[in-house]
Amino acid sequence: MPQAVALEHASRLVNHGPTVLVTTEHGGRCNVMAAAWSMPVEFTPPRIAVVVDKATFTRELLVASGRFGLCLPCPPLADLSFAVGSESGRDVDKFTRHGIGFTLGPVLGLPWIDGCVAWLELRHIPEAHTEQAYDTVFGEVVSAAADPRVFSAGRWSFRDDNTDLHTLHHLGAGSFSVPSRVIQARR
């Protein structure tokens, strides 16, 4: 069960460079994509930047709705992370195709993907130049939660006895690392 994370600690959920699953919803259409580049850019209020190519369906829904979610997958979700990062939501409903379970975030009602270890909801902060020149979008965190078995009291706790809860870090071509080992996804 996710445990609420104080917003002053929300940036710590992504400051170690994990792969994130970006979720969006607009007009009854949900989508999810994997992103390897995200980072905190401000503590108060907590703001995060993530690269979401302007040609993606996720970006289209994000801009139209003014909101997005970030979910942090762990090793059991490596295959799913690779799959949703390798196909377009314009062509297929990824949630249906991959049987993705989710709950709705508490503030913006965005999909929080089951099996992840942290979840954030963000309001989009439009920044025209950066979005056009670099494909980077900014968001202000309005809610955050994490699995208390691996994140509590505002800190990650990556240990040998909880490696299945470690965050994924994209290395390219379907390979991911975690703080202690490499995971090779299958398509």
pLDDT digits (tens, 9 = 90+) for 82-98: 999 999 999 899 999 99
**Tokens read off for 63:** 């801009």
pLDDT digits (tens, 9 = 90+) for 113-139: 999 999 999 999 999 998 889 999 999
Q: SS3 for 157?
A: coil
* All structural domains of the chain with their residue ranges: 3-184
Residues with Cβ within 8 Å of 126's Cβ and at least 6 positions away in sequence, in order, are: 63
In the chain, how long is the greatest CA-to-CA distance?
45
Q: What's the mean pLDDT when you consider all of the chain?
A: 94
CB distance 8 to 153 below 8 Å: no
- Helix ranges (DSSP H) in the chain: 57-65, 78-84, 94-97, 128-134
- What DSSP character marks residue 56? S
CB distance 5 to 51 below 8 Å: no
Q: SS3 for 24?
A: strand
pLDDT digits (tens, 9 = 90+) for 152-170: 999 999 988 999 999 999 9
Is 182's pLDDT higher than 50? Answer: no
User: Cβ of 165: how many Cβ atoms within 10 Å?
Assistant: 20
The pTM of this model reads: 0.94
**Exposure string for 14-38, b = 16+ CB within 10 A, e = fewer:** beeebbbbbbbbeeebbbbbbbbeb
Counting Cβ atoms within 10 Å, is residue 48 exposed (0-12), middle (13-18) or buried (19+)? buried
Average pLDDT over residues 137-149: 98
Model confidence at 184, pLDDT cuts 50, 70, 90, reads: confident
CATH architecture of 3-184: Roll (2.30)
- What DSSP character marks residue 11? G
